Structure 1
Amino acid sequence: MRIAFHTLGCKLNQAESELLALRFADEGYQIVSGDGADIYVLNTCTVTHIADRKSRHLVRLWRKRNPQALIIVTGCYAQRAPQELAQVGAGLVVGNGRKMHLLDLLKGEIAPVTHCSPEQLMADGISRVRSFIKIQDGCNDSCAYCIVPKVRGREHCLPMADVVKEVKVRVAAGCKEVVLTGTKIGDYKHNGANLRQLVEQVLLVTSVERLHVSSLQPRDISPELLDMWRDHRLCRHFHLALQSGSDAVLGRMRRHYSVEDYKQAVSLIRKSVPDVAITTDIMVGFPGESVEEFEESYRFCEEIDFANIHVFSYSSRPGTLASGMPDQVNDRLKKERSLQVLDLAQRSLHKFCQRFLGQRITVLWENEVTPGSGIYSGLSHNYIRIFTQSSEPLTNQFRLVRPVRLHKQGLWGEFTDED
């Protein structure tokens, strides 16, 4: 029986989809990438109306191309509005609470026909290069714009032993990089252990070659946590959520930090971690965002000098505080502001990348950009996208290159005799 997984949204969704795929493979399902599957599983996002629209489009597309297939939709959109997904053709809609029990729901209804080991799965169905592992889920905050607490529930964390075991499984299957992810991983706590102790344990008892700690909040940053980055296996990349560089907007958003708090966190990271890349999220068009507040936020982004910025326009989500706020910003202004910050993001990325021209950089290489082209891309330790040409396979290898020029959203690297 062939099953295809498609994931929208955050790294947490990616981690859950990977684990589901491993479980299905262990029961004998064949993991495939697209057309011709007997079962499709769509793990959805509902952070914006655009994410909702993508989910509905995929369900309709699969139903049209493969009318006999079972289409299962799960994730945050499925949790928020299951009836909308059923109406467009989903055969089974499963909320977040039962997402990880999909296999149990299907047992007895559809019989698998072949066996596939986790090692085969990593080779055929999931990237062997980089694996996402969930360590925490849910959120106890109540940011005015965010629907995540409603669709993910209260915070809960996985036991440290379970996380370590899962890292070992992925490493044994050949995975070179593990990403620890969750809704708010900085709040990780289980039986007295915090995030720092979890990371320390993973580094101590597993042979993972590269470990990436995903998105953090300014309040998570401390000298004790940053001390862990003396281990070269930790990626020198921090995604530190900002949302706005205006204190007034942050207050209306109900974020629990000021721009000064954010600035201090960035300063501490840069003092502690050489060559670090700091990236962020910026929302434009939050209700009531004035011209002055937007310009203040823009200037703050210039001042911080991010390695990259993920820009998105405010999207009203049903049931959130912000959806009922006055002074909603019109779509035209949102688009104008988004384009301005996107331009800044592009210039910031190029500026950061240029710092590494001519240096020797270790890259974890992924797949060919286009099959048969011999052009590979991968990520450096600080998550710069690097491209190169090679007549030999590079996938899932750490290799040194020297970046010689800007290329697309990163750098073009060349091998040298000494490398």
Structure 2
Amino acid sequence: MKKVAFKTLGCRLNQYETDAIASQFQENDFQLVPFDKEADVYVINSCTVTHQSDHKSRNFISQANRKNPNSVLVVTGCMATNAKNELESRKEINYVVENDRKSSVYSLVEAHFNGEIVHPSKLSDDLFSYGSTDKGFHTRSMIKIQDGCDNFCTFCIIPSVRGRAVSRPIHSILENVKSVIAKGAKEIVLTGVNIGRYEFEQYKFDDVVEQILNLDGDFRLRISSIEPDGFGDKFLSLLNHPKMTPHLHLCLQSGSDTILLRMRRMYGIKRFKEIVNKIRFIRPDFNITTDMIIGFPGETDHDFEATCNIIRELNFGHVHAFKYSIRNGTRAERMIDQVDERIKTKRSELLRRIAEQVKKQYRCDFIGKVQTVLVEKTDGTNAKGYGEHYVPVEFIGSDLKKNHFYKLRIKDISTGDEPVLIGEQIK
């Protein structure tokens, strides 16, 4: 058996696409191995949101070449689109596959081993032809419903590397969901670049959610990252459904209206708080996680303080914070009041400390409560998975199985950088 290794950087959409490609390789008798092991094929699904993402991708390209200089090295993802000429000039890379042709990576590699030289530009550009993810890296089955974005935030390069918003036909989504449920999937995750703006014929995002929730089967539904301006009251009413998980990742980016306006975000702080309050009215312990950009051009101490305050006020379950990074071709690149890197670093350290304190307090509130955990890793006795609130839980039992639900009472929380809930199985 030939061996294939994957490295995925960036968003959940990239994770989904890697899972689907990895499943395709495995279905055709490739053995999946860790990226730091020797393989016949290395696939790097890159990210280009920040300079750090680009740097990581370059490091993994070098790592793959060191492990096996004779391997087939494929670089795809957002950096492959944004820095195509640079990557194609690197001799160690066999193929640079842009985002819109990523689903054809396996067919490209298959042709290579059959002695055919196919240029990536000749591959299919179907954004939704990835297939099942049942042999991928995650227990949760991600379903891609949308790609691209029309928002054009001033800091974001995604519309340039993912293209304009495109929605997948609803019948295709439902067939995909039915298929993974039939194969044993217990958790469905809807993913895309801007899924709240889904629109196909007369169907909107909430119609997709409603139809999935009404499907038969023992599964639960989770929504991946979503913009706060991307849904309405109908979707909020669906949060009460027993199959819907009480977790949303709402991308805030800043606690300052001034900065949100400069970012060209489609909402203000007042609107964001209204959404959070409506959600928490439905379920007070609802887990709301978010993204924050630190040091956006023009960010003052007052703006930064507002961001810290809203983290405390809204009791986020997790904050993914990162320093602003200039992206060529964006409006923010041309803004004159760039923030000094030393200030960004100082603010980043402070914000992360606040976010960690808030996260730990949020998780401590689960002690004594019940969680339904989907096991992702187990040796039969020790298990780890996620509760319905998307909080990690560990527990001990007997004959524990991966991809099974277990009801647990939370007894404690671990100490350390990542607080994990400790559960006890309810017999």
Per the TM superposition, whether the score is higher than 0.5 is yes
Query: Residue 229 of structure 2 aligns to a residue in which SS?
Result: helix
Distance 1:324 1:373, change over 3 A: farther
| Farther-moved stretch of structure 1 (29-38 vs 40-49) | 29-38
Give the C-alpha shift of residue 165 in structure 1. Answer: 1.6
Within the candidate set 356, 365, 369, 1:355 is matched to: 365
8 Å CA contact retained: 2:412, 2:421: yes
Residue 321, structure 1, aligned to residue 331, structure 2: yes
Give the C-alpha shift of residue 359 in structure 1. Answer: 1.4
- Matching residue of 1:115: none
Within 5 Å, give how 1:167-206 maps onto structure 2.
167-206=177-216
Give the C-alpha shift of residue 16 in structure 1. Answer: 1.4
Distance 1:414 1:278, change over 3 A: closer
Query: Residue 408 of structure 2 aligns to a residue in which SS?
Result: strand
Structure 2 unpaired stretches of 5+: 116-130
- Matching residue of 1:93: 96
- Matching residue of 2:111: 108
- Matching residue of 1:22: 23
Within the candidate set 108, 115, 137, 1:126 is matched to: 137
Give the C-alpha shift of residue 379 in structure 1. Answer: 0.8
Within the candidate set 227, 232, 254, 2:237 is matched to: 227
Within 5 Å, give how 1:385-396 maps onto structure 2.
385-396=392-403
- Matching residue of 2:85: 83
Query: Residue 205 of structure 1 aligns to a residue in which SS?
Result: coil
Identity %: 37
Q: What is the CA deviation profile of residues 149-172 of structure 1, one whole-angstrom value per residue up to 9, with x for unaligned ones?
A: 110000001111111122222223
Q: TM-score scaled by structure 2?
A: 0.90
Give the C-alpha shift of residue 364 in structure 1. Answer: 0.9
Give the C-alpha shift of residue 111 in structure 1. Answer: 4.5
- Matching residue of 1:42: 44
The alignment covers a number of residue pairs equal to 407
Give the C-alpha shift of residue 206 in structure 1. Answer: 4.5
Q: What is the CA deviation profile of residues 296-352 of structure 1, one whole-angstrom value per residue up to 9, with x for unaligned ones?
A: 221122222212211110011111111121121111111111111111111111111
Within the candidate set 408, 419, 422, 1:413 is matched to: 422
Within 5 Å, give how 1:196-275 maps onto structure 2.
196-207=206-217, 209-275=219-285
Q: What is the CA deviation profile of residues 119-147 of structure 1, one whole-angstrom value per residue up to 9, with x for unaligned ones?
A: 9x846x533x2121111000011111100
| Farther-moved stretch of structure 1 (287-296 vs 85-94) | 85-94
Q: Distance in 1 between matches of 2:47 and 2:326?
A: 14
Give the C-alpha shift of residue 30 in structure 1. Answer: 3.7
Distance 1:27 1:111, change over 3 A: farther
8 Å CA contact retained: 2:376, 2:403: yes
Residue 159, structure 1, aligned to residue 174, structure 2: no
Give the C-alpha shift of residue 273 in structure 1. Answer: 3.3
Within the candidate set 403, 408, 412, 2:410 is matched to: 403
| Farther-moved stretch of structure 1 (78-87 vs 251-260) | 78-87
Query: Residue 339 of structure 2 aligns to a residue in which SS?
Result: coil
| Farther-moved stretch of structure 1 (227-236 vs 259-268) | 227-236
Query: Residue 220 of structure 1 aligns to a residue in which SS?
Result: coil
Q: Distance in 2 between matches of 1:414 and 1:74?
A: 40
Query: Residue 266 of structure 1 aligns to a residue in which SS?
Result: helix
8 Å CA contact retained: 2:315, 2:359: no
Q: TM-score scaled by structure 1?
A: 0.91
Residue 383, structure 1, aligned to residue 390, structure 2: yes
Query: Residue 374 of structure 2 aligns to a residue in which SS?
Result: strand
Structure 1 unpaired stretches of 5+: 113-117
